[in-house]
Structure 1
Amino acid sequence: MYQKNTLIITLLFLVLPLCVKAQDIKDRYAKYEAFKSLTKDKVLHGSFHTHWLKDGHSFWYHVLTQEGVKYYLVDASKLKKKEIIDVNALLEKVSAEYGNEVSYNDLERFSVSDNIKSCEFVLDGYKYQYSLPSYKFIKKEKYTKPAPYNWTMDQMDQTNNPPVKSPDGKWLAYIKNYNLYIKDLSNETEVALSYNGGLGLYYSTYLQWSPDSKKIMAYLVQPAEKHFVNYIESSPTMQKQPVYSSIQYYKPGDALPQFYPCIFSVDDKKMISSSKDIIPNQYSIENIRWRKSSESLTFEYNKRGHQVYQVIEMNAETGKNSVLINETSPTFIDYSSKRYRFDINDGEEIIWASERDGWNHLYLFDGKTGSVKNQITQGDWVVRNVVKVNPKNRTIIFSASGKEAGDPYLIHYYSVGFDGSNLKLLTEGEGNHRVSFSAEYKYLVDSWSKVDTPPVTVLRDAQTGKQIMTLEEADITPLLANGWKKPQIFSAKGRDGKTDIWGIFLTPSDFDPSKKYPVIEYIYAGPHSSHVPKDFSAYYNRCRQSLAELGFIVVMIDGMGTSNRSKAFHDVCWKNLKDAGFPDRILWMKAAAEKYPFMDISDVGIYGKSAGGQNSTGAVLFHPEFYKSAASICGCHDNRMDKIWWNEQWMGWPIGPEYAESSNVDNAFRLQGDLFLVVGEMDQNVDPTSTYQVVDALIKANKDFDLLTLPGKGHEWGGEYGERRICNFFVEKIMKQTPVKMNTESLDHSLIQTDIDIDK
């Protein structure tokens, strides 16, 4: 009997830890499911959107306060602020009209009229309008949602535009039999201006008259075969049988149509100038602009491979073509995110953005000779965006990062003269600044924060940057009361031992620094920008907050190869997307773990979507000694299979061996850790076959992996269901625990409340 009791006690001691763990993970799943609701509406007096009125000095905004949502009108000229809507009184009237109790959260697309005499909103598919301040019902009408933007690569039809009348109304220009014709509208006389157009080399119906009606620009087009991606929607909602469809989709290496601007004279009835011989291997021809004088036009030539970008002038008097600005690079020109041009006084001068000195800065060019008159901004920092150019007083308002001490990604706003003088900071305060200028740029509303510091919003004089009125200071007391923990900012030296690499990490709401927490990296290393959050947020979607609540530390890092630092920092990605900054990321995590012993980097996981999907799979293929498991959602796993503009921008053209070297397909045989692939079968951003080819390569290499296909879905995370599956994957692979089962007879688990195409 004694031996039997001893055996039972021994078994209980062995089973008890398992039971505790099982209960612990169940509790953690409950925490992650509840945490988003615990953070909702818990930041008071936070940041807001500014709605400027036509008078140029007044604006309204709304913000959540201790008493609920309040709407304020601010008169910047008088420094006065007043409440303009009693939300409770309005809701009472709306409920009576609607026939049911209405809460503020039921109202969508709320706006206030410019004269502050009425407000309107959408409720249950109808647009309502009420007067202010009486809250009398004015009208109700059916609301039609704006058509969603559909990303497309469809080429514009160059053969089907209507005839174009000259500015003076005397002539009509059009294409007939592939050639350019004009018609004198006074007598209906038709004259051909070109004769060299044909089936394989024709003139486009996209025509531009000169302002004086004496010249015409027409493209001579060399077409290319269209490239399509084909889809099978397996589970359509409108019918039982699958639906087949195709979209135009151009990939690296595909032939592209070529466009050669030509100028024709109406008086001489002939071509004056052709650009055919000076713009070979185009990626694009953009921004064709006639000078107001009609003496010339300019256009921008982006040569395939993105190592030459030029502003070219075609003289409509002499027929001479000249290069005004010649931007070249041995790696790439970041035309997609750093290009900026502003012509002054009909092209006498040009403001131009360039990285020619190693940092993205503004230059002033002589628009006639193409010579640099002076560099406007300079230093080891980056111009991020031009807000306003004022030719009259020769000043520029722009945003930049890296000029102030601290985190080099934090955005501030400045003004500067065309000659580079009088550089002035307009937004004091450590943080990432979001601003809104009045129409005449007399005032600006400035809101700044950091991930660990809630926002402060003030009104400033836009000429001096002087703060003239405090509008809101955020209160996060309710957020902290619910267990919210602020993200931690951390920087460490990168692979060169000199450059600071910046990132943040999230901890669970019940974080205990005496414990150990496994680490998961959320990655997006697309070279088109930097990606670590800089603004304050109460909740991080895309599984980040959910994984933290499950007991992970979630890190986000901007390694080398991403943008918004020096050109050298950015160039690491050149023909080398597999790098993804991993040497810097790994060093960052090792340094963080040394400083914070609660970070356990013995079994690091990683996940991401799109370019992050390529990065996360690449992590376990190229760095299996550090990354042990990866979840990859809608990844562009092979740069030859993805969209042309993004991949040729960084990987170059013509296609070389670098594409295969960075390919997750060609390197799938390297897999050592755990891999979870997710793909939407109707993804029109990244060709789904990019994921399926990884699957094929893994099968051929006899590798274990997991695959989730989302029927009918596009470039998505998979909503609540996808988030659950991603979380389950890491709980199982890193924590070595069994996720809470969803397949139960009692159905005592949470059900999916939203369609999986909702991106959380």
Structure 2
Amino acid sequence: MKFMRFLSLFFFFATCIATAQNKEITLSEIWNGTFRTERMDALHSMKNGQQYSVLNFDRYSRSTSIDVYDYKTLSKVKTLVSSASIKEIDYFTNYTFSNDESKVLLATNVESVYRHSTLGKYYVYNLTSGEVTLIAEKRIQEPTFSPDGSKVVYGYNNNLFIKDLISGDTKQITFDGEKNKIINGITDWVYEEEFAFVRAFEWNKSSDRIVFIRFDETNVPQFSMDVFGTQLYPEEQEFKYPKAGEANSVVSLHLYDVNKETLAEINVGKTYNDFYIPRIKWSENEDVLSAQYMNRHQNELDLWFINTKKDTAKLVLAETDKAYVDITDNLTFLNDNSFIWTSEKDGFNHIYHYSKEGDLINQVTNGTWEVTAYYGYDEKSKKIFYQSTENGSINRDVYSIKLNGRSKERLTKSTGTNSAAFSADFSYFINTFSSATTPPEYTLNNAESGDVIKSIKDNDKLASKVLNYKTSEKEFTTINVNGNDLNMWLIKPADFDENKQYPLFMYQYSGPGSQQVANRWNSSNDYWYQMLAQKGYIVACVDGRGTGYKGAEFKKVTQKQLGKYEVEDQIAAAKKLGERSYIDASRIGIWGWSYGGFMSSNALFKGNDVFKMAIAVAPVTSWRFYDSVYTERYMTTPQENPGGYDNNSPLSHVDKLKGDFLLIHGSADDNVHLQNTMRMVEALIQADKQFEWMIYPDKNHSIYGGNTRLHLYKKMTNFIDKTLGDKIQNQLDEDEVNIKS
């Protein structure tokens, strides 16, 4: 049956290719949803392991529901809750079950604070009685069920509160919270952005203790920016933002005893100065808490086990690295309180098994490839499930392996990007697969063999739609630059003629551990690149030194000098590509966003004999302006490494500008501050260098909202056409004359 479906699709697509592929992609289509993919939202495996729930939205009734489906049949079993039947709620945007799945927490009226944090109104819906309980009248943060489902803890105005779902009472448990001074249980700006978590509190297994991190940001320098809005006077937004080398929040660990109603600080058996607590997690033992402590340089990580009943602490694991130690969420406690850990200590990211005392039992995975996701451990089969790059650094596959490191099995069969969502009992997984030629498809797979049981959802309609457009293959290859084989993709015009010469437009991001050359389906930018190829450009992307998934040495070579080796690789790659007969070496451009904007600026300045133009969107122009956690992880502090900060800052090389430069930023960027662009503008002015720039009012680091993205990409496209495309237009004009004659 599946083979017949494949044949019919093959012949259908072949027919489409033969008869279509004549439409040209427009910017409006890229940003109006024409190429939107179908997804599965808020997927949750039910506790029984045989069913899963998803969040569904009914466009006609404007209501949302949580619907349960059977893994085996994929048929809908029931609707657990629908906003259409709850008078208090118009719709909800997310949901969380209590451990026993008798209650569900519904998120409504959610608004963003920063990248990960939100404020919203939350309701508890009792699935047995149908009772609806509003947690709080105000918008709150991170409401979380206790394991027994009887209470909810949440953050409000920098303090923590407990809502008792039985009595209906609410108890405030911290009282010193104050904006821009003290935060209890919710992370500060830099922890949220760089350690990627917001909820800094955790229930223990027996629901009688809560541990939380307290942030004292009193001495952290305050950043302010104007939000212009529509009123007569702008509003000033102020928040604590520790830039490189400046004071961080002073963090401490605290324990609240729910029964005794007591609050106490937790101390470990070591004195730390200027440190981070990037992760906390209770073990399977209700008394034992794990806490990770890290020095400011982030090259030493201590894992502590704290017995909160006996008030004792044991250092069970101390990991060091000459560069830095990555933080993950992979710490997993087994029933005997031994634990799973991932580490790069052998040069590649792998899985390790330790005893509850911190003794290494064995290294579970091994090889010159990277574990890229840890999915979990099945006690019954003694298997660990994970994702890795063993099938090539641009690909992802799902694997299983025994806890003892034996019987490894590749569970996914298609080459591209595979990711899994396992059932609670690890009997099934829903696989999401895509590649550069296949849009996302969701299948139900057997966790034992990996075999596909059924197709759940695909994007065949999108695939057939894309075939109507004049698109080109994304060619994956490598390019040898500075002694390294770097991953690269190329997109050439559909009517490519090797006897002609084409301008080259390069894209990169290049940040530590990142990856842009990956075998996955199109992002919005990919459609833009296809549009540029339609116009007659060759588009390329090269992942240089410092990027990820090729081992720690390759990734960490940029330590203490961000912007040196990465820029050298982009310049050398452009030179080498410019030697190809079909590329016009006099018309090479480069662009990037954020770290990529830092890179494209440097590439244009330092590679002024190679690059004719560059676009920098929301660029870091000096790492002195960026936050402490991210920057110091790779650079240490400006006080310790001034040369590393200044020698590779674009601000130090503006005098080298020869080509065309477009600088773009959002005025309300809380991440990479507008200060970066303003300092660049001033430096360029004083160096008497002409350039173009655009500021998007009240837009954050993502620069979106309303017509903004369309405007942004029109501006960039016009700039590319003006600076690289003059010969393209001349050729088009000549072709038109020839056709008429």
TM-score, length basis structure 1? 0.69
The 8 Å contact of residues 435 and 446 in structure 1, kept in 2 or not, is answered as yes
Q: Letter of the 2:600 partner, please give it.
A: S
- In the alignment, does 2:217 pair up with 1:231? no
Change in CA separation of 1:270 and 1:412 when aligned onto 2, cut-off 3 Å: closer
The 8 Å contact of residues 418 and 433 in structure 2, kept in 1 or not, is answered as yes
Change in CA separation of 1:444 and 1:47 when aligned onto 2, cut-off 3 Å: farther
- In the alignment, does 2:383 pair up with 1:395? yes
- In the alignment, does 2:660 pair up with 1:667? no
- In the alignment, does 2:298 pair up with 1:334? no
Matching residue within 427, 430, 444 for 2:429: 444
Q: Letter of the 2:532 partner, please give it.
A: L
Aligned to 2:686: 700
Matching residue within 71, 77, 86 for 2:72: 77
Aligned to 1:635: 619
Aligned to 1:91: none
Change in CA separation of 1:75 and 1:654 when aligned onto 2, cut-off 3 Å: same
Matching residue within 420, 435, 457 for 2:420: 435
| SS of 1:229 mapped into structure 2 | strand
Change in CA separation of 1:721 and 1:699 when aligned onto 2, cut-off 3 Å: same
Change in CA separation of 1:144 and 1:572 when aligned onto 2, cut-off 3 Å: same
Aligned to 2:40: 49
Q: Letter of the 1:480 partner, please give it.
A: L
Q: Letter of the 2:598 partner, please give it.
A: Q
The 8 Å contact of residues 202 and 222 in structure 1, kept in 2 or not, is answered as yes
Deviates more, 1:428-437 or 1:566-575: 428-437
1:127-138 matches, within 5 Å, as: none
For 2:81 and 2:527, the matched residues in 1 are separated by 41
Aligned to 1:601: 585
Aligned to 1:367: 356
Q: Letter of the 1:495 partner, please give it.
A: N
Matching residue within 351, 367, 370 for 1:382: 370
For 2:524 and 2:176, the matched residues in 1 are separated by 60
1:16-55 matches, within 5 Å, as: 33=26, 36=29, 48-49=39-40
1:211-230 matches, within 5 Å, as: 224-230=218-224
- In the alignment, does 2:395 pair up with 1:410? yes
Matching residue within 114, 117, 120 for 1:150: 114
Matched residue count: 612
Change in CA separation of 1:292 and 1:320 when aligned onto 2, cut-off 3 Å: closer
Cα shift readout 1:164-217 (whole Å, capped 9, x = no counterpart): 99xxxxxx9977999xxxxxxxxxxxxxxxxxxxxx999999999988999997
Aligned to 1:306: 298
Aligned to 1:724: 714
For 2:209 and 2:44, the matched residues in 1 are separated by 42
Deviation at 1:386?
A: 0.9
For 1:385 and 1:74, the matched residues in 2 are separated by 26
Q: Letter of the 1:641 partner, please give it.
A: F
- In the alignment, does 2:470 pair up with 1:489? no
Change in CA separation of 1:215 and 1:719 when aligned onto 2, cut-off 3 Å: closer
Aligned to 1:623: 607
The 8 Å contact of residues 303 and 315 in structure 2, kept in 1 or not, is answered as yes
Q: Letter of the 2:386 partner, please give it.
A: F
Matching residue within 276, 282, 289 for 1:297: 289
For 1:223 and 1:460, the matched residues in 2 are separated by 48
For 2:207 and 2:49, the matched residues in 1 are separated by 38
Q: Letter of the 1:147 partner, please give it.
A: E
Change in CA separation of 1:160 and 1:394 when aligned onto 2, cut-off 3 Å: same
TM-score, length basis structure 2? 0.71
Deviation at 1:724?
A: 1.8
Q: Letter of the 2:339 partner, please give it.
A: I
Q: Letter of the 2:626 partner, please give it.
A: D
Q: Which structure 1 segments of 5+ residues have no match?
A: 1-29, 63-71, 83-111, 129-142, 166-171, 179-199, 741-760
Change in CA separation of 1:713 and 1:588 when aligned onto 2, cut-off 3 Å: same
- In the alignment, does 2:446 pair up with 1:461? yes
For 1:432 and 1:174, the matched residues in 2 are separated by 45
Q: Letter of the 1:636 partner, please give it.
A: V
Q: Letter of the 2:612 partner, please give it.
A: K
Deviation at 1:307?
A: 0.4
For 1:437 and 1:255, the matched residues in 2 are separated by 42
Matching residue within 720, 723, 727 for 1:733: 723
1:254-269 matches, within 5 Å, as: 254-261=246-253
- In the alignment, does 2:696 pair up with 1:710? yes
Aligned to 1:519: 504
Deviation at 1:350?
A: 1.4
Q: Letter of the 1:389 partner, please give it.
A: Y
For 2:435 and 2:266, the matched residues in 1 are separated by 54
Change in CA separation of 1:592 and 1:74 when aligned onto 2, cut-off 3 Å: farther
Aligned to 2:122: none
Change in CA separation of 1:373 and 1:399 when aligned onto 2, cut-off 3 Å: same
Aligned to 1:648: 632
Change in CA separation of 1:38 and 1:516 when aligned onto 2, cut-off 3 Å: farther
Deviation at 1:383?
A: 0.5
Q: State the Cα RMSD in Å.
A: 4.7
The 8 Å contact of residues 301 and 311 in structure 1, kept in 2 or not, is answered as yes
Aligned to 1:555: 540
For 1:120 and 1:219, the matched residues in 2 are separated by 39
The 8 Å contact of residues 578 and 663 in structure 1, kept in 2 or not, is answered as yes
Change in CA separation of 1:252 and 1:157 when aligned onto 2, cut-off 3 Å: farther
The 8 Å contact of residues 452 and 488 in structure 1, kept in 2 or not, is answered as no
For 1:696 and 1:600, the matched residues in 2 are separated by 33
| SS of 2:720 mapped into structure 1 | helix
| SS of 2:243 mapped into structure 1 | coil
| SS of 2:623 mapped into structure 1 | coil
For 1:284 and 1:708, the matched residues in 2 are separated by 39
Change in CA separation of 1:438 and 1:229 when aligned onto 2, cut-off 3 Å: same
Cα shift readout 1:535-570 (whole Å, capped 9, x = no counterpart): 133863584344333321111221110122200110
Cα shift readout 1:422-447 (whole Å, capped 9, x = no counterpart): 11111012222243434433223434
For 2:32 and 2:213, the matched residues in 1 are separated by 56
For 1:366 and 1:680, the matched residues in 2 are separated by 49
For 1:257 and 1:37, the matched residues in 2 are separated by 42
Q: Letter of the 1:729 partner, please give it.
A: F
The 8 Å contact of residues 164 and 207 in structure 1, kept in 2 or not, is answered as no
| SS of 2:600 mapped into structure 1 | helix
Point out the structure with max Rg over C-alpha.
Answer: 1
